[in-house]
Structure 1
């Protein structure tokens, strides 16, 4: 019983142990002094997925990795790099999953085609049901 309680406590403590004890990156929670640069950085951060949280953008996440990614975006924007180049770098480093808008490829084709396929199946089923009721 004690072992089960210990394992349960260990399992529940895992998310707390996911972040390190190091301080956050310099620009993780600090906005850029130039409002236009911050707006570009913020717009880009909204389109990038937190790889730890998965359901939040790096702009909304408090995960340590999201903070590191926010700092990276702000540093590169401050140096004058274009958002598209930064986005490309992050996609190259972390894969298409880091973006909420993955490009169309053979790997992502099911993601793009599934809604259309499900809609067609639903319309065919509805048509069949309405024909049966009318007959």
Structure 2
């Protein structure tokens, strides 16, 4: 089999995978420093998952709470978050932290505990994500 024939399926797979998800970051109404990727919204019954990102680090994420004491400053954080729209709770499914140049500092896919939505920014995110899920992905 020739090299071009061998590479064709691999190139096609990469092109299809790249087109599968293009991020669509939108500012959360009421919390302009917080963004949600509306293209990442997935709903299963009353639970909605989405990627959230903002500057700095949220203190309520255990993996990130003690990070600044250990090294480089966290500049941007992205969290895969699951909201339960009937119980007003959230759970972090994955956490990514980046420095000022965009280099990854921390990546964790260990799900965190279920937490009640109380903090102002999280309340805005909860409302935006649950409403976007009800509206078919429109924020």
TM-score normalized by the length of structure 2: 0.23
Q: Which one has a bigger Cα radius of gyration? A: 1
More strand, by proportion = 2
TM-score normalized by the length of structure 1: 0.24
